[in-house]
Amino acid sequence: MTAETLTALANARDVAHAAPGLRPGRLFRSDAPLAGDDAPEGLSPWPPATVVDLRDARESRGGHPFAESARVHAMPVLAEAALDASHAGVTLVELYQGMITGEPGRTVARVVAAMATEPGPVLVHCSAGKDRTGVSVALVLSLVGVEREHIVADYVATSANMRGVLARMAAAWGGATPGLPEGVDPTQIPAEMITAPAPAIGSVLDTWAAAGGAEAWFLAHGGTAEDIEALKERLLG
């Protein structure tokens, strides 16, 4: 991992790449931007007009690098969600089910509403762009009618980017172990926490299906029909 690669987002892509028929240049997803980053290849227009930051305060550590050029909405999906020893013994399925239950679920619905209605292009990110971002983008894609296989494939695509993500996280945190805060024992972090296995996002899609579909779940957690229409207009035209 060279110094140059640390100055570019490691897990950035246009959500339109997830499936045919989606409009490019409207909604982007990524790992956490760092001050001094180069403009990412393939994301245009750049920089985003709106940023939806899903990290908690411990991860973001104050100001956002886009604070002067974009509307930045801090919307922590899970309090104290940074990788640490508290994840020992917790599966991704359990973590994701926690994101779509109770108040975290209502926050995910608000995140999607912001992605639908705030000035675009919109960038949504957490630290790795994998878990909180992955669940939020899966809901977006579900609401606009993208087929399950494409949603799962978009989520799984993050696995190939995790080496770069962890290197950038290590640089940002200043920790000795890539991707982990100083003092955290990497042996206590389950391996799946740094991969993107299909069954993890599949469990989320199954939960939404059991609730009557993503739209029914979204409406039950505070989303509105107007949000859904705005999302479809943004991504489908």
pLDDT surpassing 80 at residue 80: no
Answer yes or no: are the C-beta atoms of 83 and 181 closer than 8 Å: yes
Answer yes or no: are the C-beta atoms of 137 and 154 closer than 8 Å: yes
Among 192, 209, 51, smallest CA distance to 130 is for 192
Please compute Rg for the chain using Cα positions: 17
CA distance 13 to 78: 23
Q: What is the pLDDT of residue 83?
A: 47
Q: What is the pLDDT of residue 177?
A: 47
Give one DSSP letter per residue of 105-117, joined into a string: HHHHHHHHHHHHH
Answer yes or no: are the C-beta atoms of 172 and 62 closer than 8 Å: no
**For the chain, what is the mean pLDDT?**
89
DSSP code for 40: P
Q: Which residues contact 213 (CB under 8 A, 6 or more apart)?
A: 142
pLDDT, tens only, 114-158: 999 999 999 999 999 999 999 999 999 999 999 999 999 999 999
Q: Which of 41-45, 73-77, 94-98, 182-186 has the lowest mean pLDDT?
A: 182-186
pLDDT surpassing 60 at residue 187: no
Q: Percent of the chain at pLDDT above 70?
A: 86
pLDDT surpassing 80 at residue 176: no
Taking residue 90's Cβ as centre, other Cβ atoms within 10 Å add up to: 14
pLDDT surpassing 90 at residue 6: no
Residue appearing with tokens 């779940």:
217
pLDDT band at 179 (very low <50, low <70, confident <90, very high): very low
Residue appearing with tokens 């969600």:
81
DSSP code for 72: E
Token pair belonging to 168: 């950038």
pLDDT band at 84 (very low <50, low <70, confident <90, very high): very low
Q: What is the pLDDT of residue 188?
A: 55
Q: What is the pLDDT of residue 62?
A: 73
pLDDT surpassing 70 at residue 79: no
pLDDT surpassing 50 at residue 1: no
- The alpha carbon of 23 is separated from its chain's Cα centroid by a whole number of angstroms, namely 19
Token pair belonging to 61: 């550590």
Q: Which residues contact 188 (CB under 8 A, 6 or more apart)?
A: 85, 87, 88
Q: Which residues contact 176 (CB under 8 A, 6 or more apart)?
A: 182
The more confidently predicted of residues 183 and 198 is 198
The class level of CATH for 4-232 reads alpha beta
pLDDT surpassing 50 at residue 178: no
Burial code of 148-174, b = ≥16 C-beta within 10 A, e = fewer?
Answer: eeebbebbbebeebbebbbbbbbbbbe
DSSP code for 29: E
pLDDT, tens only, 13-45: 999 999 999 999 999 999 999 999 999 999 999
Token pair belonging to 226: 């107007």
Structural domain spans, the chain: 4-232
Token pair belonging to 118: 């705030």
CA distance 31 to 8: 10
Mean pLDDT of 100-120: 97
Q: What is the pLDDT of residue 189?
A: 60
The more confidently predicted of residues 84 and 120 is 120
Q: What is the pLDDT of residue 60?
A: 79
pLDDT surpassing 60 at residue 209: yes
